[in-house]
């Protein structure tokens, strides 16, 4: 177990370094973008005197390293800083955007796991037969459709033509749970591609495992088919699927901009998009920290689960 | 970021004020009747809640009316607050909180009398509130947008001469002083108000109920509004940056009013009976901006050649999907003082070629700056490149960043895409065409032109003033730096139940995005 502990410690340290690197990179890139918050705010009225005044009011006239250092000092005290454009705390931005994002991610995940694994196992069980072909071709076809296209299609058919569901979550704010109907379409769109990739991964893993010598051996010993499938073959198929799942959760939490924009869900993706357009560097940096930490933690979790499922494979640190 | 795949996903931001879309509707239709869109028929009915979707500014939005920048900001500000004056359909100033104004002989002292109006907390609107509001805007430590507009006022010398009367002292004669009172963002707030996001108090037709930046703002009818209580009980502003989301929400009955729709959307739904499309015609000025202080546009023959290269109808059809009409290289079609008598300029490639030859600019190569900052910009650039090729001019289209575009093209480059919303012609001149103008993108700097502007501002008689403006416009028409090829429609969608939406209301004018006269059938 001590090997595992040192692995976790190493990974956490590496993760912290990675997050710092991401923040530095994001800062450098945001600085490298043409224009700054003052220029973005001045918009179509780029009166140089006004831009200078805004710049001064925002403290943008200080050198970049000073601003970064000031922000980093605050971060050590748990302070993510304040937005340049509104003067409100960055933590509020993230907290406000996190609710809808988390809700969507949770719902999507809650449906993704049973559907993805179910379809994968189903296809693997019927390998080469009609069910398998059907599942495989439908998942491949759906996977090929970009989210926004699927979203537009679903809205047009289910919300506008048939009027079964509300087309957007406009006006519901953060209280999305009170309007479950508005969540159906976004979750469907979010599910579409991950379900396909996950079920295909599970199917492939199961098929491999079922064709392996140890599965054949187990069958020769008279172990029932279900037990071979679920206690011997499935865990082997799970390891890659868990990693894929971690990537999906990461994607869901770190802002699904297309879906948020299409359905007017004010999540983290929207916050990020606005912050970049406004050159609101503290908000962008705050999000970079949150996304960095999330990514590190999720991947670490996935590695640990994969390790638990297939101990023999060892852990690649 | 996925926004390249999703071209609508651009910030519609900062075009409200000066560059917003104007829409002088029905200019060509003659008749001064009070046509309302969405069927103004029937007796206005009280009650109900209207939900209006606008593109907004995300979590950074504020209700501080002096910080208003986006269309959504202005729509909210005008519901909660009033200005002393506001723009009518022809961009002339109409009295609002000011009951009347009167200049002294020299046009540099103005007496303004306020009407009897009250703030939402019951306190009367007084001269002190007005002076506080203007001083707040003009604070040198701040960067409020209206500061430049208020510049002619000497606020230290101006004073309250009574509870409801103010004497404004100006730094120089200003015949168009009422335009200043109507300036974008010059809202009147109660004396000493500094905080607007918790419980803002204004004197506007609606009072504050709730506000979540980037999501929703709910206001309720203010029964004691001086202009009569609104017909609606409540108005809710919701934010949807994606045009398709605004349309879908409207079609799905989630909102009753969707601001800023695409021409293609309008065409798809116009006359289909599901929703009403309101076109605020002759609106956002669409132009190419030539820098007149540098080669090749420092030669007026080259500028004239470019005027003649443009096939304006093709630009309107292609870049605006036909939702607009052609321009005549002059700003403010249909507005007060517009020189409507000048002949419509048409494409004339032979003459353009001859002019370029005279100027020694054959085989001319120019870079045209454009950006996805406004609808139709990149399309217009592509179309104009092809038109110019026919006259032997090679145009290299250069895409710029949309977040810093306006600042980039102010001093940089030689030729760029440009657009502007409604403002009085006088304001267009003072902000963009004088030697000391703050946003002089064409670098039009001529002492004699400046002198004409001063002359107009010192002319009391309106007819004489109009004659001076006409002289200035003739000059711009023949050798100015703005190739103004069109005026785009501003498109709004409403539910069938929404009545009383004004069609003759360019964006930024009083009746645009005005909800106190709107009602639900």
State whether A39 and B51 contact (CB < 8 Å). no
Q: How confident is the model at residue B48 (pLDDT cuts 50, 70, 90)?
A: very high
Per-residue confidence (pLDDT) for residue B38, from 0 to 100: 43
Phi, psi of A144 (to 5 degrees): -75, -10
Could you give the C-alpha distances from B325 to A306, B124, B263, in angstroms and in order?
64, 45, 13
Per-residue confidence (pLDDT) for residue A312, from 0 to 100: 62
Which of B382-388's residues contact partners 24+ apart within 8 Å by CB, and which partners?
A: B383/B314, B383/B315, B383/B318, B383/B319, B384/B288, B384/B309, B384/B310, B384/B315, B387/B309, B387/B310, B387/B311, B387/B314, B387/B347, B388/B306, B388/B309
What is the residue whose two structure tokens read 């007796």? B43
Q: How would DSSP label each residue in B21-71?
A: --B-TTGGG------BTTT--S------EEEEEE---GGG----GGG--SH
Per-residue confidence (pLDDT) for residue B354, from 0 to 100: 95
Say if strands B257-259 and B324-326 run parallel, antiparallel, or are unpaired. Answer: unpaired
Contacts of B428 (CB under 8 A, 6+ apart): B331, B332, B420
Residues 270-309 of A with CB under 8 A from B: 270-271, 273-280
Q: Can you identify the CATH homologous superfamily of domain B282-489?
A: Dipeptide-binding Protein; Domain 3 (3.10.105.10)
What residue ranges in B142-300 does DSSP mark as E strands?
159-162, 165-169, 187-188, 206-212, 216-221, 234-239, 257-259, 275-290
Contacts of B494 (CB under 8 A, 6+ apart): B37, B38, B250, B256, B257, B258, B275, B276, B278, B501
- Cα distance between residue A219 and residue A223, in whole Å: 5
What is the SS3 assignment for B488-504? EEEEEEEECCEECCECC
Nearest C-alpha of chain A: how many angstroms from B224? 28
What is the residue whose two structure tokens read 């179509």? A44
DSSP-derived 3-state class of residue B408: helix
What is the residue whose two structure tokens read 């507009």? B149
pLDDT at B274 over 80: yes
> B420: which chain A residues are within 8 Å (Cβ-Cβ)?
44
> A263: which chain B residues are within 8 Å (Cβ-Cβ)?
245
- Cα distance between residue B218 and residue B226, in whole Å: 21
Report the 10 Å Cβ neighbour count for B106: 11
State whether A41 and B14 contact (CB < 8 Å). yes
What residues does each domain of chain B span?
83-182, 282-489
What is the residue whose two structure tokens read 């409020």? B144
B479 vs A27, higher pLDDT: B479
Name the residue in chain A with its Cα closest to that of B253: A166
pLDDT at B498 over 90: yes
DSSP-derived 3-state class of residue B405: helix
Mean pLDDT, rounded, for B276-302: 92
State whether B403 and A277 contact (CB < 8 Å). yes
Name the residue in chain A with its Cα closest to that of B19: A44
Asked if ipTM goes beyond 0.95, one says no
Write out the H or E segment, with its range, that includes residue B94: strand B93-95
For B184-203, write each residue's pLDDT tens digit.
999 999 999 999 988 999 99
- Cα distance between residue A240 and residue A203, in whole Å: 11
- Cα distance between residue B306 and residue B351, in whole Å: 10
Distance linking the first and last C-alpha atoms of chain A:
15
Per-residue confidence (pLDDT) for residue B157, from 0 to 100: 95
Give the range among B14-28, B48-62, B318-332, B356-370 with minimum mean pLDDT.
B14-28
Query: What is the full per-residue pLDDT of chain A (317 aa) written as tens digits?
Result: 567 788 888 888 888 888 888 888 888 887 887 778 888 888 788 888 888 888 887 888 888 888 888 888 888 888 888 888 888 899 988 988 888 899 999 999 999 999 998 999 899 888 888 999 999 899 999 999 988 899 999 999 999 889 898 988 887 776 788 888 889 999 999 999 999 999 999 898 888 888 888 888 888 888 887 888 888 788 877 878 888 888 888 888 876 888 888 898 888 988 888 888 888 888 988 888 888 888 888 888 888 887 777 766 554 43
The closest CB to that of A264, out of B9, B19, B245, belongs to B245
For B331-386, write each residue's pLDDT tens digit.
999 999 999 999 999 999 999 999 999 999 889 999 999 998 888 899 999 999 99
Per-residue confidence (pLDDT) for residue A313, from 0 to 100: 56
Per-residue confidence (pLDDT) for residue B467, from 0 to 100: 96
pTM above 0.90? no
What is the SS3 assignment for B421-474? CCCCHHHHHHHHCCCCCCCCCCCCCCHHHHHHHHHHHCCCCHHHHHHHHHHHHH
Residue B516 C-beta-side C-alpha neighbours within 13 Å: 26
DSSP-derived 3-state class of residue B88: coil
Per-residue confidence (pLDDT) for residue B35, from 0 to 100: 42
Per-residue confidence (pLDDT) for residue B119, from 0 to 100: 97
- Cα distance between residue A276 and residue A254, in whole Å: 15
What is the SS3 assignment for B316-364? HHHHCCCCEEECCCCCCCCCCCCCCCCCCCCCCHHHHHHHHHHCCCCCC
What residues does each domain of chain A span?
93-278
What is the SS3 assignment for chain A? CHHHHHHHHHHHHHHHHHHHHHHHHHHHHHHHCCCCHHHHHHCCCCCHHHHHHHHHHCCCCCCHHHHHHHHHHHHHCCCCCECCCCCCEHHHHHHHHHHHHHHHHHHHHHHHHHHHHHHHHHHHHCCCCHHHHHHHHHHHHHHCCCHHHHHHHHHHHHHHHCCCCCCCCCCCCCCHHHCCHHHHHHHHHHHHHHHHHHHHHHHHHHHHHHCCHHHHHHHHCCCCHHHHHHHHHHHHHHHHHHHHHHHHHHHHHCCCHHHHHHHCCCCHHHHHHHHHHCCCHHHHHHHHHHHHHHHHHHHHHHHHHHHHHCHHHCCCC
CATH class of B83-182: alpha beta
Longest pairwise C-alpha distance within chain B: 70
> B61: which chain A residues are within 8 Å (Cβ-Cβ)?
86
The closest CB to that of B6, out of A47, A57, A148, belongs to A148
State whether A278 and B242 contact (CB < 8 Å). no
For B131-183, write each residue's pLDDT tens digit.
999 999 999 888 888 988 999 999 999 999 999 999 999 999 999 999 999 99
Residue A108 C-beta-side C-alpha neighbours within 13 Å: 28
- B217, B369, B403, B432: which to substitute to probe chain A, counting the most A Cβ within 10 Å? B403
pLDDT at B30 over 80: no
Nearest C-alpha of chain B: how many angstroms from A190? 15
> A262: which chain B residues are within 8 Å (Cβ-Cβ)?
242, 244-245
Give yes or no for A179 touching B (CB within 8 A).
no
Cβ contact B64:B196 at 8 Å: yes
- Cα distance between residue B248 and residue A72, in whole Å: 43
Mean pLDDT, rounded, for B408-417: 94
CATH number, span A93-278? 1.10.3720.10
Give yes or no for A170 touching B (CB within 8 A).
yes
Q: How confident is the model at residue B515 (pLDDT cuts 50, 70, 90)?
A: very high
Identical fold for domains B83-182 and B282-489, yes or no, is no
Residue B321 C-beta-side C-alpha neighbours within 13 Å: 13
């Amino acid at each position: 177990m001590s090997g595992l502990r040192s692995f976790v410690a190493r990974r956490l340290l590496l993760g912290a370094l990675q997050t710092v690197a991401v923040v530095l990179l994001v800062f450098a890139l945001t600085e490298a973008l043409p224009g700054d918050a003052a220029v973005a705010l001045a918009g179509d009225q780029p009166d140089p005197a006004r831009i200078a005044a805004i710049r001064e009011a925002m403290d943008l006239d200080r050198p970049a390293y000073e601003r970064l250092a000031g922000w980093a000092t605050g971060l050590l005290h748990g302070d993510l800083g304040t937005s340049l454009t509104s003067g409100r705390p960055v933590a509020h931005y993230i907290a406000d955007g996190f609710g809808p994002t988390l809700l969507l991610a949770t719902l999507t995940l809650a449906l993704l796991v049973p559907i993805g694994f179910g379809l994968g196992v189903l296809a693997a069980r019927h390998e080469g037969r009609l069910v398998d072909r059907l599942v495989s071709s439908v998942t491949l076809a759906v996977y090929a459709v970009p989210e926004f296209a699927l979203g537009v299609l679903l809205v047009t058919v289910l919300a506008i033509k048939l009027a079964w569901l509300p087309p957007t979550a406009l006006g519901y704010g953060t209280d999305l749970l009170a309007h479950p109907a508005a969540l159906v379409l976004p979750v469907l769109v979010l599910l579409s591609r991950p379900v396909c990739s996950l079920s295909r991964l599970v199917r492939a893993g199961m098929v491999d495992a079922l064709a392996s010598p140890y599965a054949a051996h187990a069958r020769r010993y008279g172990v029932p088919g279900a037990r071979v499938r679920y206690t011997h073959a499935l865990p082997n198929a799970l390891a890659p699927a868990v990693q894929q799942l971690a990537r999906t959760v990461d994607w869901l939490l770190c802002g699904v901009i297309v879906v948020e924009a299409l359905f007017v869900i004010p999540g983290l993706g929207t916050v990020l998009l606005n912050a970049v357009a406004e050159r609101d560097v503290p908000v962008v940096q705050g999000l970079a920290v949150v996304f960095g930490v999330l990514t590190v933690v999720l991947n670490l979790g996935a590695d640990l689960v994969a390790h638990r499922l297939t101990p023999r494979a060892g852990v690649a640190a | 970021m996925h926004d390249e795949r999703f071209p609508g996903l651009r910030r519609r931001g900062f075009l409200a004020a000066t560059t917003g879309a104007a829409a002088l509707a029905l200019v060509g239709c003659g008749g001064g009747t009070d046509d309302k869109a969405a069927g103004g028929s029937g007796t206005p009915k009280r009650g109900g809640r209207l939900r209006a979707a606008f593109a907004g500014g995300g979590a950074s939005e504020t209700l501080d009316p002096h910080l208003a920048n986006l269309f959504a900001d202005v729509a909210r500000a005008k519901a909660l607050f009033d200005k002393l004056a506001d723009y009518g359909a022809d961009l002339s100033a109409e009295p609002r909180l000011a009951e009347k104004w009167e200049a002294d002989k020299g046009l540099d002292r103005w007496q303004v009398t306020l009407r009897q109006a009250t703030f939402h907390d019951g306190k009367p609107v007084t001269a002190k509130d007005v002076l506080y509001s203007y001083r707040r805007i003009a604070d040198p430590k701040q960067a409020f947008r209206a500061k430049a507009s208020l510049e002619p006022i000497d606020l230290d010398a101006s004073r309250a001469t009574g509870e409801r009367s103010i004497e404004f002292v100006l730094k120089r004669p200003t015949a168009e002083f009422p335009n200043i009172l109507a300036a974008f963002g010059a809202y009147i707030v109660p004396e000493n108000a500094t905080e607007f996001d918790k419980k803002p108090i204004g004197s506007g037709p609606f009072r504050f109920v709730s506000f979540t930046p980037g999501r929703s703002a709910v206001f309720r009818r203010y029964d004691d509004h001086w202009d009569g209580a609104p017909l609606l009980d409540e108005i809710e502003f919701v934010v949807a940056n994606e045009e398709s989301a605004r349309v879908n929400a409207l079609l799905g009955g989630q909102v009753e009013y969707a601001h800023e729709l695409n021409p293609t959307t309008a065409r798809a739904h116009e006359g289909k009976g599901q929703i009403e499309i309101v076109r605020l015609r002759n609106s956002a000025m669409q132009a190419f901006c030539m820098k007149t202080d540098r080669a090749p546009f420092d030669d007026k023959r080259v500028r004239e050649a470019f005027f003649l290269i443009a096939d304006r109808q093709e630009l309107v059809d292609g870049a605006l999907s036909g939702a607009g009409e052609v321009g005549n290289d002059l700003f403010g079609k249909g507005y007060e003082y517009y020189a409507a008598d000048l002949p419509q300029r048409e494409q004339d490639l032979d003459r353009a070629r001859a002019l370029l030859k005279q100027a020694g600019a054959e085989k001319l190569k120019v870079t045209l700056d454009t950006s996805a900052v406004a609808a139709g910009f990149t399309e217009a650039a592509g179309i104009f490149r092809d038109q110019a090729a026919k006259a032997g001019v090679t145009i290299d289209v250069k895409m710029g960043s949309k977040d810093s575009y306006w600042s980039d093209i102010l001093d940089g480059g030689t030729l760029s895409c440009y657009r502007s919303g409604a403002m009085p012609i006088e304001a267009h001149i003072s902000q963009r065409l004088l030697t000391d103008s703050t946003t002089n993108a064409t670098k039009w700097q001529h002492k004699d032109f400046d002198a004409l502007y001063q002359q107009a501002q010192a002319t009391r008689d309106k007819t004489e003033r109009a004659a001076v403006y006409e002289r200035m416009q003739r000059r711009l028409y023949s050798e100015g730096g703005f190739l103004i090829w069109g005026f785009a429609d501003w498109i709004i969608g409403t539910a069938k139940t929404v009545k009383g939406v004004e069609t003759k209301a360019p964006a930024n004018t009083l009746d645009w995005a005005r909800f106190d006269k709107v009602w639900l059938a």
